[in-house]
Structure formats: C-alpha cells, structure tokens
Amino acid sequence: QVQLQESGPGLVKPSQTLSLTCTVSGGSISSGPYYWSWIRQPAGKGLEWIGRIYISGSTNYNPSLKSRVTISVDTSKNQFSLKLSSVTAADTAVYYCARDLGTISKGGFDPWGQGTLVTVSS
C-alpha cells in the first residue's frame, strides 16, 4: 500500500526558508485522481492545512500562508516538496505530508506520513 515519508532539516533559523520533501512509496505519485498535501501541527495544538499539488503541477494554498508557500512535485522521483519562506518561531511544528483523496470517490487525507518536527530557532 502507499506510504509517505517526510525528510528535511529539523532546525531552521528565523527568516530562512523551511524545505521538506515527501517520498511516496508503494505506488506511483502519478496514479489516481489524487492531490498531495502538506499539513502541520504545532506541539499540543490542532491541524493546519498548508497546501496541495496535483501531478499536473496545479496547486492550492491556505490563504493565510499563500504568500510564503511553494509546493512542487517531481514525478520522476515520486516526491513532492514544500518550501516555506521567512519562517518565525510560529512555524515550529510537526509537518505531515498526506495524500489528498480529492472529491470524486472519497474525501479527506489518507494515508499520512509519520511527520517530521521542524523547529525554528537561532
């Protein structure tokens, strides 16, 4: 079955750019009517959707983060990536990648990666 795994630096300095990659295994990122999303969760808090990408490169972003977010896809590597610029301590969170089931046959996010903690600190 499809599995997702996040990777990237665990520590980022304020004002710099956070960069994460999600590797999809057990299936092709190009198969199915799926989007691929990033979601984050500050410690002890709730979930915030960051944005998503389709294999065509079409993206949708959370309006509150849109000016700082870029999501891209590399189908040859079965990966998609997140860049979040000008980070502050408020961006410290566990970052998850997940398959977005779209709105055709199902809805919601499944599966999810295990998550990676990114701390913004000097």
Partner 1 sequence: DIVMTQSPDSLAVSLGERATINCKSSQSVLYSSNNKSYLSWYQQKPGQPPKLLIYWASTRESGVPDRFSGSGSGTDFTLTISSLQAEDVAVYYCQQYYTSWTFGQGTKVEIK
The residues binding partner 1 (CB under 8 A) are 37, 46-49, 60, 62-64, 96, 98, 100-101, 103, 106-110, 112-115
Q: In the complex with partner 1, which residue's Cβ is closer, 16 or 32? A: 32
- In angstroms, what is the minimal distance from the CB of 42 to partner 1? 12
Q: In the complex with partner 1, which residue's Cβ is closer, 23 or 37? A: 37
- Kindly report the three-state secondary structure assignment for every residue of 38-106: EEEECCCCCCEEEEEECCCCCEEECCCCHHHEEEEEECCCCEEEEEECCCCHHHCEEEEEEEECCCCCC
Q: In the complex with partner 1, which residue's Cβ is closer, 4 or 12? A: 4
